[in-house]
Structure 1
Amino acid sequence: MFKKRPKLTMLPTLESEQWRVFKLAKDPTLRYQAINEIYQQQCQLTDIAMIESGVLDKDNYYEIATPRFTKANGDLLLQAAYTFTLDFDFNNVSDFAWLLTHCGLEPKSSGKTYTTLEKFDSNSAYVCFQKSFISLPYQSNNLLKRYREANRDVILGRSILEDELYPFEDGKLIMNKSLWLVLDKVNDGKSCRVSYFHKCMLPMVQPNTLKPYAAIALAQCPITSCNASRQTNMSSRRR
């Protein structure tokens, strides 16, 4: 894992990631079209995401969190997945999971805030999350949706990286994340199998944010700090 080290100089920037930025325009027609395309794309990726998560063949409780580097450009990608079965009514679990996803219900002590930017219907919303990443503030604008199917419900989310109607606050790091929560009916809906998977890049730096600011954030990251310490120890041994 540590043979290929992440860059310690700066976090990814929106300028360097323009070709894959999820954008929303201010124009209502273009905006609505983009939102629906993002929802459809994420929905189509659900089964692939569940296969990638590694939870499909697990019968009991299972969880895993793994960092890895993308093949395309070596970006650090953080992945997490879990699965378990709840002996509660399927519809109740689905409703509560959707409530937690788009409303948060976080304790004040968590320091995380939820703001609903747009509510499209009872099963889709655009929500802003704000908290701190290694003591630095980050913002995450997320399209969230619940798809209701015959034998399962799917809750999905995708971060928006540029929005003309709701621009990001100056100096905030921007989260880049996709998530899937699949709820399968068990025992005719008397129980529910919960399977979750998310992918998250390192927080992204806005174009006007100073690079030293980002360097401090990454230098404090547990993964890169551990790597730097490992390299220092190896150098000491060579001496």
Structure 2
Amino acid sequence: MVELTYVGFHAVFVAPPLFVLASVAVNRTRPARPVVRAIPIVAILVMALAYTTPWDNYLIHRGVWWYGDGVVAGRLWLAPIEEYLFVLLQPIVATLWLGTIATAFEWPSERVEMRLRDRLLGVAAAAVVGVVGLAMLTRPATFYMGAILSWASPVLALQWAVGWRYLLARWRLTAIGTLGPAVYFSAADRIAIEYGIWTLADRYTTGLTIGGLPIEEGTFFLVTTLFVVQGLVLYPWVIERWR
């Protein structure tokens, strides 16, 4: 088997979709109403790095996963430098993908309102995710899944409280915008695990897989992509309401 490093992973699986989608964005001759703006993109990148870094390093410290010998270029705290780069590049790929497909979807023709009870319902739904996650943290075999769900809950609570009704009105864009990058990076992650770039601890995972991919990893890419897509879909709607 040919050795693949974490830098090589970026070169093979991250750089190509990034360049292709960026080229599509630059060469698009008839831009529709933009979903992607500079301000939300920068905000998402800053928040992604700030929110993910402590969580990621804690799980490495806990031994939930580790990296193969000689596959990382260097470390900052406990995480490889390439990991921080991935935290920044994954949202960019998701953003470019969303901008590419957004032209195929119509904006809701009717005004979507969020009343107080709607906001509370959004928070309650995210709280259920968090409670399930916290319960899973109490057992070693579900610890990683619990860490993902409990970590995701506050972000989901904020986004759903702001506009879950609007996200529901644009569910096709939100779903396809999320599933495209999530499935792609899950497949890439499966290959990275096979090549030993990183290894998940049996103690902290359920052992359940889909096509050889641990369900925890698929869940991680699903929720992190969902963060980005929901934030970008909500942004123009929130700005329009403020105006």
**TM-score over 0.5 (shorter chain):** no
Q: Pick the structure with more strand per residue.
A: 1
* Higher-Rg member (1/2): 1
Name whichever structure is richer in helix by fraction. 2
TM-score (norm 2): 0.30
